[in-house]
Amino acid sequence: MKVVSVKAVFHCVKWKACVLFLAMVHVGELLYAQDGRSGIQTANTQVRGYFEVGTQLMLAIGALVGLIGAVKVYTKWSQGDQDTSKVAASWFGSCIFLVVVSVIIKSFFGV
């Protein structure tokens, strides 16, 4: 007959309890899992929901930068700087770029 120490029994019970706990946690994670298609569809819906807000934010930041650019052009024009037309053209081009990019991205993603 083999004699087993209390320490060995306690170690075995502790190990089995850890394995059982990890198995239960893993089964719980499996219950919350979803198939790949529904996960992709959910992500698609969420991204499309944020898209309009992101576009509006981009246009608002563009408007703020446009106002700062307009003040910069006016300052150069008031001081009689020869470089005013180049600064005005780049400012106007950047404003057009923001609007066009917004429209192209909307049409590309179908939003």
pLDDT value for 85? 86
pLDDT value for 45? 84
Positions of the chain with pLDDT lower than 50, given as ranges: 9
pLDDT value for 99? 81
How many domains, the chain?
Answer: 2
User: Is residue 75, in this structure, part of any structural domain at all?
Assistant: yes
Long-range contacts of 68-77 (CB under 8 A, 24+ apart): 69/94, 69/95
Q: Compute φ and ψ for 45, nearest 5 degrees.
A: -65, -40
Q: Is there a single domain that holds both residue 7 and residue 28?
A: yes
Which tokens go with 33? 């899992």
Q: Is there a single domain that holds both residue 47 and residue 96?
A: yes
Q: Are 84 and 73 in contact (CB under 8 A)?
A: yes
Write out the residue range of the structural domain in which residue 69 sits. Answer: 43-109
Q: Against a cut of 0.75, is the pTM above it?
A: no
Q: Is there a single domain that holds both residue 3 and residue 29?
A: yes
Q: Is there a single domain that holds both residue 27 and residue 58?
A: no
Q: Is there a single domain that holds both residue 24 and residue 59?
A: no
